């Protein structure tokens, strides 16, 4: 059953098919002048034009994803200004402007079509094969860094990422896709999308991913005869199944999805038996959402939303206690539901007002950990409670070329003692149609998640009263664009973070960490009418640990450089995408350095070989570098995979 989708697709691709022309909503081919006048429609609380929004906005489109051959959301985010990814051979982690703590992305708000995806146990924001969506269903990705995130609250600590799904009319028929890659990696997808004459738009999709992984992985920390000389053999298997559906009818949108992902864990970082094939983790997440959006009149609109979501996690870890093989089970169950109401109005001249209310009830936050035989229980907790957020924002057109934006948010959260109140202020000046200056300030918080609340109970039998983490963000921005497709961006930013959760000298989780982040970003982008693209970005950041006299903190690269080049070939018969990503060195917990690395990825695509057929060939890590990532536990540094290949065929009919 797991290989059914792939089998059907490979059979279908062996036939010649006829396809209808796709009616896509891709924005990449717009000129820079046009792109700057596209509203950030999905980010409804920032609904002005991008050059008038009180934040910086980075956008990737479906065409970018296809051109550069990004296989997951993590791949795409790794190509965005100011972001970088890491991996511990189980999960992928997102770094934001130098901050990366392998925190399961709990300090970044992840959304799909404006719906919060961070689950309610660890606040995980998944981005790789554990992410809800197949990357082929993504129409565009919006990234808003810290200064623009306050109005979205809690997990938008460092920023938020909104993934917008395609409409059915972008596929306009049935679509089959199959791909094969290095390390016995295969993926298949079946999708159907259509917009009917009455305006109803539907999209349904199912996909399966299966990878054998690297056959032999070497871990120096386990290099002894009793641990197979540090070689984990056939311990990198990963599988993921996804279902997604969306129906839009008049003012209503119904959507839902599920992802079920299995991953063997080869690292044995925390005392597990090394090279035991039973070490693995399973993640399952699902959601159902109903959205109602209605223009009340020519000046006001209403947004209503209701959702139900779930998350299940189970890890099986093998330990050796007193020469006895012991199976340990770590299990969590999260269930939550809620809704949102928002009114946007221009009823007052030169004002754009937003009022909103969010509610979430954490129905279940269940955690249990036990040994199977002999049975011994270490933890068994279940939390529940309310989250209520009220926000307001006023964008005031002081002058024709000057906007003052002021927002305020109040939060009640059942896992903290206080009632946080956080403002956001922005001054946006457009002295010329081509030039924008922005001065931004915001503050926000992150509540301790359920896992952190129970961490001390697990280790020490103590219930903790943890406080919320706090951040204040300051940023200045300049943007300039020409009429012929050149865009320049520059930014200076400072983030003051305090009361971050970490481990104190006694081993307890406590609000002890204090960081200051200083940095600058720049980006230049040029798009040509024939589809050529050249984009370069550079981020410098210094994340100082105030508990260590301002020393550079762990996991933080000071320098991140990215270069993207796309070139149409053979009179637009094919397109070449080249991506170069440089990540600077990073300090480890042990005080040494993980080396800087430079990734070059190349992808060639063509949709002209046969009507309805889209072919791509990708080479990832072209220079075959086994670059270094920071590990956890006994694994100080982990080596990543070398060169990888992927071929992908997609048929639409």
Contact 236, 212 (CB under 8 A): yes
Q: Where residue 102 falls among pLDDT bands split at 50, 70, 90?
A: confident
- Residue 339's pLDDT band, with cuts at 50, 70 and 90, is very high
Interval 445-504: pLDDT, tens? 999 999 999 999 999 999 888 999 999 999 999 999 998 889 999 999 999 999 999 999
What percent of the chain is modeled with pLDDT above 90?
84
Model pTM above 0.85: yes
Q: Is the pLDDT assigned to residue 16 strictly greater than 60?
A: no
pLDDT > 70? residue 9: no
pLDDT band at 57 (very low <50, low <70, confident <90, very high): confident
Cα–Cα distance, 377 to 363 (Å, whole number): 23
- Residues shown for the chain: 653
In the numeric block, which tokens belong to residue 149?
């995130």
Element of type H or E holding 169: helix 168-171
Contacts 24+ apart (CB under 8 A), 125-128: 125/94, 125/155, 125/161, 126/91, 126/259, 126/283, 126/285, 127/72, 127/73, 127/74, 127/77, 127/85, 127/92, 127/94, 128/72, 128/73, 128/74, 128/87, 128/91, 128/92
Range of lowest pLDDT (29-38, 95-104, 171-180, 184-193): 29-38
Confidence of residue 27 (pLDDT cuts 50, 70, 90): very low
pLDDT tier for residue 5 given thresholds of 50, 70 and 90:
very low
pLDDT of 36 higher than 90: no
Q: Which candidate, 581, 564, 625, 576, places its Cα nearest to that of 603? A: 576
- For the cut 60, the answer to whether the pLDDT of residue 28 exceeds it is no
Q: Please compute, for residue 110, the number of CA atoms within 13 A of its CA located in the half-sphere on the CB side.
A: 23
Q: Please state which of the ranges 152-156, 377-381, 424-428, 572-576 shows the lowest mean pLDDT.
A: 152-156
**pLDDT for 322:** 87
605-to-77, 213, 462 alpha-carbon distances in Å: 20, 25, 57
345 token code pair = 């109005």
Mean pLDDT of 201-218: 98
Q: What is the pLDDT of residue 591?
A: 84
Grade residue 51 by pLDDT with cuts at 50, 70 and 90.
Answer: confident
> How sure is the predictor about 147, in pLDDT bands with cuts at 50, 70 and 90?
low
Query: Is the pLDDT score of 371 beyond 80?
Result: yes
Q: Which CATH number covers residue 385?
A: 2.40.170.20
Please provide the average confidence, as pLDDT, over all residues in the chain. Answer: 91
Instruction: Give the C-alpha separation, 26 to 95, whole Å.
Output: 27
Reported confidence tier of residue 19, pLDDT bands at 50, 70, 90: very low
For 251-302, the DSSP string reads: TEEEEEEEEEEEEE----TTSPPTT-TT-EEEEEEEEEEEEEEEE-SSSEEE
- 632 membership: H or E segment, kind and range: none
Site of tokens 């539901």:
337
Provide the CB-side half-sphere exposure for 183 (13 A, CA): 21
Q: Are 551 and 525 in contact (CB under 8 A)?
A: no
Contact by Cβ (8 Å): 213, 267: no
Q: Which helix (H) or strand (E) holds 452?
A: helix 450-453
The domain containing residue 231 runs over which residues? 2-652
Domain count, the chain: 1
Residues 6+ apart with CB under 8 A from 525: 32, 486, 487, 488, 489, 533, 534, 535, 536
* pLDDT above 70 as % of the chain: 92
Q: Match 């997440």 to its residue by tokens.
A: 285
């Amino acid at each position: 059953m797991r290989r059914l989708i792939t089998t059907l697709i490979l059979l279908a691709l062996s036939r010649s098919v006829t396809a209808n022309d796709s009616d896509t909503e891709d924005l990449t081919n717009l000129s820079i002048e046009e792109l700057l006048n596209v509203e950030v429609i999905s980010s409804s609380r920032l609904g002005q034009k991008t050059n008038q929004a009180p934040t910086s906005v980075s956008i990737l489109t479906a065409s970018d994803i296809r051109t550069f051959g990004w296989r997951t959301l993590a791949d795409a985010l790794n190509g965005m200004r100011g972001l970088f990814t890491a991996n511990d051979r189980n999960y992928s982690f997102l770094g934001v402007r130098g901050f990366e703590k392998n925190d399961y992305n709990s300090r970044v708000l992840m959304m799909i079509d404006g719906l919060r995806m961070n689950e309610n146990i660890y606040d995980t924001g998944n981005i790789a094969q554990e992410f809800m969506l197949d990357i082929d269903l993504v129409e565009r990705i919006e990234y808003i860094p810290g200064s623009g995130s306050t109005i979205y609250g809690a997990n938008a600590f460092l920023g938020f990422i909104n993934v917008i799904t395609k409409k059915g009319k972008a596929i306009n028929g049935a679509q089959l896709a199959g791909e094969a890659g290095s390390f016995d990696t295969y993926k298949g997808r079946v999708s159907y999308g259509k917009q009917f004459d009455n305006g109803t738009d539907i999209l349904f999709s199912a996909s399966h991913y299966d990878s054998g992984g690297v056959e032999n992985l070497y871990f120096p920390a386990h290099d002894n005869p009793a641990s197979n000389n540090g070689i984990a053999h056939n311990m990198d298997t990963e599988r993921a199944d996804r279902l997604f559906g969306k129906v839009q009818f008049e003012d209503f949108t119904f959507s839902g999805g599920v992802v079920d992902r299995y991953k063997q864990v080869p690292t044995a970082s925390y005392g597990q038996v090394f090279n035991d094939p039973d070490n693995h983790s399973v993640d399952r997440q699902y959601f159902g959402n109903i959205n109602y959006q209605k223009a009340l009149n020519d000046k006001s609109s209403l947004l209503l939303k209701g959702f139900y979501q779930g998350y299940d996690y189970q890890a099986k870890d093998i330990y050796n206690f007193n020469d006895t093989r012991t199976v340990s089970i770590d299990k969590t169950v999260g269930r939550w539901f809620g809704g949102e109401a928002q009114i946007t109005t221009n009823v007052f001249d030169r004002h754009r007002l937003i009022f909103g209310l969010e509610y979430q009830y954490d129905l279940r936050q269940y955690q249990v950990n036990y040994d199977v035989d002999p049975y011994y229980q270490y933890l068994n907790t279940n939390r529940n409670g309310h989250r209520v957020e009220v926000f307001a924002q006023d964008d005031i057109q002081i002058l024709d070329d000057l906007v003052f934006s002021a927002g305020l948010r109040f939060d009640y959260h059942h896992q903290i003692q206080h009632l946080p109140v956080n403002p956001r202020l922005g001054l946006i000046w457009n002295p010329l149609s081509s030039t924008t200056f922005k001065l931004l300030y915001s503050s926000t918080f992150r509540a301790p998640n359920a896992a952190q609340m129970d961490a001390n109970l697990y280790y020490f039998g103590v219930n903790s009263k943890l406080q919320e983490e706090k951040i204040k963000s300051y940023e200045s921005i300049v943007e300039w664009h020409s009429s012929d497709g050149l865009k320049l961006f520059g930014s200076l930013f400072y983030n003051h973070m305090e009361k971050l959760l970490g481990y104190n000298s006694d081993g307890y989780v406590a609000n002890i960490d204090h960081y200051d982040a200083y940095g600058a970003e720049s980006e230049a982008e040029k798009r040509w009418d024939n589809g050529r693209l050249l984009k370069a970005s550079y981020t410098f950041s210094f994340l100082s640990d105030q508990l260590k006299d301002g020393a550079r903190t762990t996991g933080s690269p000071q320098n991140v450089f990215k270069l993207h080049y796309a070139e149409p070939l053979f009179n637009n018969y094919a397109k070449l995408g080249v991506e170069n990503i440089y990540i600077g060195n990073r300090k480890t917990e042990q005080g040494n350095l993980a080396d800087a690395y430079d990734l070059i990825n190349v992808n060639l695509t063509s949709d002209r070989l046969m009507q309805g057929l889209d072919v791509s060939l990708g080479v990832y890590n072209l220079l075959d570098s086994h670059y270094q990532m920071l590990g956890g536990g006994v694994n100080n540094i982990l080596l990543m995979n070398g060169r990888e290949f992927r071929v992908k065929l997609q048929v639409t009919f």
